[in-house]
Chains A and B, each alone.
Chain A
């Protein structure tokens, strides 16, 4: 494994080849916020909150830290005015969906995001896909999936699978950045409809 030299926030960093900017930053204690990132899961780049500025060929370009691999002589900035503004707006948009999320509120305080900026559309879900991907990639069950597309996309438990697998697992609940509320709610709904006695009454 070769060593790659790069600069993150004016700090010289030695990273291993194949690492992402996020991993390199974490290795020297630079904090980059993440919501949809999980070490056990493949990169997803859904939340965009880990956005950083990368200088390449004299131009400054925006990229998600969790997906961009480290390159020799790369110059990364994680806390410029532009980045802070982007993160603030992203948080405000997500807070419109999950205004009571603890994780989002902590970040909101840090970045000065106003949770009342956008009209509330409380779906509790910010489509980070953690539960869906964890179930598919780690548990290989796909008991919770996304259904629909575009603005109507939402998470849903598959009753047939959920009634067998979920009760003893529930590992996805703690992954949810907007608290397990939604997951628990949808799960119980799915379990009830899968009970034939209740459905037939």
Chain B
């Protein structure tokens, strides 16, 4: 996201420090995540110390200060999937990629998220990768499914 575009969003909020959260949300809508350059620009334009902008951006779960991975893995942990062992699936995937839910791995190939009901309860436990739902019946299947995306 270039500087002009960031400035455009900031101007829309009249460069008000009180609009920080709404403004960051709007920028993230466009850019997908909040890079350090974005936070620095916002801090400069709003006259809010960079530290406070960072504090806000890291406090709320809605903000991402790390870009999403190439593949986004959503593990359903809704009631149906949970009772069919979704937690074990989540742990297994986490071990395999080496990250915890909510994190992205170092080479940005995978992001892992624990979600509540994804709406495919009959298939549970369900793992959704890049929008495609996979039904995981045995833990061994986890390896096969993840491998397809590596």
Contacts and interface: CB of A to CB of B under 8 A. Distances in A.
Contact of B49 (A140, A146, A147, A148): A140
Range of interface residues on A (Cβ < 8 Å): 10 to 19
Contact of B55 (A141, A145, A160, A161): A145
Interface residues of B, number: 11
B33 to A, nearest CB: 16
A146 B40 CA distance: 17
Most chain B CB inside 10 Å of its own CB: which residue of A136, A145, A146, A160: A145
A161 B52 CA distance: 11
B50 interface: yes
Contacts, number: 40
Contacts of B54: 145, 147, 156, 158
A70 to B, nearest CB: 33
Given A142-B50, A156-B54, 7 more contacts: A143-B51, A147-B54, A147-B55, A149-B58, A153-B59, A160-B50, A161-B51
Interface of A: 135-136, 140-149, 153, 156, 158, 160-161
Interface of B: 40, 49-52, 54-55, 58-61
13 contacts: A136-B49, A136-B51, A136-B52, A142-B49, A142-B52, A143-B51, A146-B55, A146-B59, A147-B54, A148-B58, A149-B61, A153-B59, A161-B51
